[in-house]
Amino acid sequence: MDIDNIIGIFQTYGIVVSLIEETSGTQIARCILKAKSKEDVDKFLSVKDDLSLALQSAFSYTRTYISKTDALNIVVELPNAQEEFVYLTEELKECKEELEKLNLPLVLGRDLENNLVIKDITETGSFLMSGATSTGKSMFIDSVIYTLLETKGPNDTKLVILEPKMGLETMQYEGIPNILSHITTDIHKSYEILTKIVKDREENKKDPKHIVILVDEFAILMLSSIGNEFEEIFCKIAKKGKELGIYMFLSSSKPSDTVFTERLRKHIPNRIAFTLATKEDSRRVLGEEGGETLIGNGDMIYRNVNTNEEIRVQAPFISTDKVGYNIKISSTESKIEDYYNNRFRNQFHEWVKQTQAHEHSGEGIYIPHRDLCMEKLSHVPDKDIPLFFCSLGWSVLVDQVMYTYFKDDYPKFQSLTLYPKIEVGITNTNISPGWVFRGYLTKDILNFFLMDLKEFFKKNTFKEASWESVTKVMSEDKDINENIRNEILAVRKL
């Protein structure tokens, strides 16, 4: 950090300061400057915007403010020359014993002194979150879910995930044991789920399980025709959450007054801000300015507006591949071999008839991704959901590999119909098989698929395609999940 340059910029505006402390986090460095007198502080406040622009021209993003603990201290925060990430899986391993002591552990990230910041959700209560698109908000939700899945079993904690924006991010968690109810995109269904949870808990307060509700883009609910009802139920949960054992993470990229209402802000003191568009947005989310100066990539501010506790942290990073592959689903209720050979393949065309899937330009079946939500899969028994998605994902993967790398063999391959041509898409874009697997694909299931494919190629010969050549492509194709590629490579070496 170029302290001399910073002090020099202050002096340009006639403000006399000296360095008293300097710290550095993973992305952000902080220096605390002592003003010579109250007059220097007053001068700083009068030229703060111009001074901030001068600092930004020298150091890009900066944040300057008066310390809450000493009125003569001026805090300057700016990006490090080299940024580092906070990796959630590594942090969970390092602080395993500490996390086990907490009822509902929450890893916020590392602060500007590089300390890991951990909270217990049962002590903090619910959270309001906001941030612009692609600044780390959705990844933070993933980290909250992943931490709870890694540290708490379904007998301790249940998750309720509402996805009104109909995105892809949280659908991979569908069907896991910790999920209390199906992940839904339907507004009215979301309200029914929330009211039922509250009613059940009010009637049975002795239930020891904690419930964590996560809503990505709750603005859609608040701005709907039943927005007032959502505000009422959210406020009720926030007020009685600790008593009932229910906690919420309400997230939105649109922190308007009609979304972050005065009532919600009153009842939910815990706030998390990622990069915000304006100072007004920051005041609405955090109760003060500063959120508009965050630099993205997980840079965030946690603030409790009741206690004035405020921490700027680097939120933990976790790849979507890691999230998906590490969700452990037991397949003991249904044998994959029986399901895949005797039910999935035989019932596939019947399933197509019951959904919005349709013939696609005479080249197989096209399935819009929204038609893979649980509301449209009611004909698939709950116990078969993991195997259904694994079978569907594997069919998509094998077909894509054959079509892309073995075009001469593809017509014959398709004529055998064991692997129906299926494309899963969103707005004319094909979605990768990894998304279809939804985290259900375990090593045992993948090994079965590979051996099944091996039997297929023993019985059928092609010009170029073979079990060896197809699995070689799979193990090298960077578009395929790294964990899946590594497992395929391991099986090939046996």
Given a cut of 70, whether residue 320 has pLDDT beyond it is no
Mean pLDDT to the nearest integer, 134-157: 89
Contact indicator for 269, 285 with CB cutoff of 8 Å: no
Same domain assignment for residues 254 and 375: no
Cα 41 from Cα 44, distance rounded (Å): 5
- pLDDT score, position 334: 37
Tell me the pLDDT tens digit for each residue of 260-292.
999 999 999 999 999 999 999 999 999 999 999
Same domain assignment for residues 116 and 60: no
What percent of the chain is modeled with pLDDT above 70? 82
Same domain assignment for residues 47 and 155: no
Q: What's the mean pLDDT when you consider all of the chain? A: 85
Region of poorest pLDDT, from 109-113, 158-162, 318-322: 318-322
Same domain assignment for residues 66 and 93: no
Q: What is the CATH number of the domain that holds 130?
A: 3.40.50.300
- Chain centroid to CA 357: how far? 28
Tell me the pLDDT tens digit for each residue of 95-109.
989 998 999 999 999
Same domain assignment for residues 307 and 336: no
Residues facing 157 on adjacent strands: 210
Closest C-alpha among 243, 221, 224 to residue 234: 221
Same domain assignment for residues 142 and 256: yes
Query: CB atoms < 10 A from the CB of 409, how many?
Result: 20
What is the residue whose two structure tokens read 């600044």? Answer: 135
Tell me the pLDDT tens digit for each residue of 332-380.
333 566 667 666 666 666 665 555 554 444 455 666 666 777 667 777 7
- pLDDT score, position 280: 95
Same domain assignment for residues 370 and 448: yes
Contacts of 463 (CB under 8 A, 6+ apart): 408, 409
- pLDDT score, position 328: 45
Region of poorest pLDDT, from 45-59, 206-220, 371-385, 453-467: 371-385
Cα 476 from Cα 326, distance rounded (Å): 21
What is the total count of domains within the chain?
Answer: 3
Contact indicator for 188, 342 with CB cutoff of 8 Å: no
Q: Which of 35, 58, 79 is the last residue of a domain?
A: 79
Mean pLDDT to the nearest integer, 463-481: 88
Same domain assignment for residues 352 and 467: yes
Cα 72 from Cα 310, distance rounded (Å): 19
Q: Which of 275, 293, 322 is the last residue of a domain?
A: 322
Under DSSP, the state recorded for 384 is G
- pLDDT score, position 426: 45
pLDDT grade for 438, boundaries at 50, 70 and 90: low
Cα 494 from Cα 483, distance rounded (Å): 17
Q: What is the CATH number of the domain that holds 48?
A: 3.30.980.40
Cα R_g (the chain), whole angstroms: 26
Same domain assignment for residues 411 and 443: yes
Query: Would you state the structure tokens that stand for residue 25, as one six-digit string?
Result: 């986090």
- pLDDT score, position 46: 94
Domain span at residue 204 reads 88-322
- pLDDT score, position 65: 93
Contacts of 375 (CB under 8 A, 6+ apart): 182, 184, 185, 186, 189
Same domain assignment for residues 344 and 317: no
Query: Would you state the structure tokens that stand for residue 466, as one six-digit string?
Result: 């073979």
- pLDDT score, position 6: 93
The backbone torsions φ and ψ at residue 14, rounded to the nearest 5 degrees and listed phi first, read 75, 25
- pLDDT score, position 290: 92
- pLDDT score, position 179: 85
- pLDDT score, position 5: 92
pLDDT grade for 77, boundaries at 50, 70 and 90: very high
Rounded to 5°, angle at Cα 408 from 420 and 403: 40
Q: Which of 47, 79, 111 is the last residue of a domain?
A: 79
Cα 480 from Cα 89, distance rounded (Å): 21
- pLDDT score, position 160: 95
Same domain assignment for residues 240 and 356: no
Same domain assignment for residues 123 and 267: yes
